[in-house]
Amino acid sequence: MTTRRQLPPQIKKIEVLDRKLGKTVVRYQLTVDAGVNSETGKRQQVRRRYATEREARAALAEIGDAAVQGRFVPRRTNTVREVCENYLKGRHESPWKCWRLLTLETRMQVCRRNSRL
């Protein structure tokens, strides 16, 4: 006989509409505290959805552990170009110097992303 496992309070089982299939599917939404935002000083929460309970539990452990140790990095919408421009504004150098500082692998990723747009 299998035992019923209860979900942690940070994970909720929800039903959402799958855009491709047009059917409702089960997803597990994770809402976890990720520490304090260093810029605003406010509490920061992370909300993500996963297809399986196992993925959600693994993410809960990983994000919670990283937040406690102070090494959690939230998702950002900054592009490589914006980061380089901000860096150069502080250093008063040419944009090409930043491009030369990037590794070849990073340059290839940037080129691939730009070609998709």
Phi then psi for residue 17, to 5 deg, are: -85, 125
Do residues 56 and 86 share a domain?
no
**What is the tens place of the pLDDT at every residue in 37-62?**
777 888 888 899 999 999 999 999 99
Could you tell me if residue 5 is inside a domain? no
pTM above 0.85, yes or no: no
Do residues 18 and 62 share a domain?
yes
**What is the tens place of the pLDDT at every residue in 72-100?**
877 778 888 888 778 777 776 566 666 66
Could you tell me if residue 74 is inside a domain? no
User: How far lies 89's CA from each of 27, 86, 94, 98, 99, in Å?
Assistant: 43, 5, 9, 11, 14
Given a contact cutoff of 8 angstroms between Cβ atoms, the answer to whether 44 and 70 are in contact is no
The tokens describing 116, both together, are: 């998709």
